[in-house]
Amino acid sequence: MALAARVLAALAGLGCPHAAFAHAAFAQAALLHADFPPRASMHGGPPHAGPVHARSAQAAPAQAPSAQARSESAGGAGAAPAQGGRVAASPADAARACAPPRQVAERFIAADCLDCWTAPRESAPAPAEWTLDWIVPAAAGPDAPLAAAALPEGAARLADLEHAASALPARLDWSLPRRPTLRLAVQAGPAWNGYLGLQLRSRGPAPDGARAYLALVEELPAGSEGSPIARRLVRAVVGPITLARDAPSLELRALRVPETAHPERLRGVAWWVDARQRLRGVAREGCGAG
Interval 100-155: pLDDT, tens: 788 999 999 999 999 999 988 776 666 668 999 999 999 999 999 999 999 999 99
Interval 224-272: pLDDT, tens: 999 999 999 999 999 999 988 888 889 999 999 999 999 899 999 999 9
Length of the chain: 290
Task: Determine the pLDDT at residue 120.
Answer: 81
**Domain ranges within the chain, ordered by starting residue:** 1-34, 39-284
Task: Determine the pLDDT at residue 30.
Answer: 39
Q: Is 121 left (phi over 0), alpha (psi -120 to 50) or beta?
A: alpha
CA-to-CA distance for 64 and 67, rounded, in angstroms?
9
Predicted model pTM: 0.74
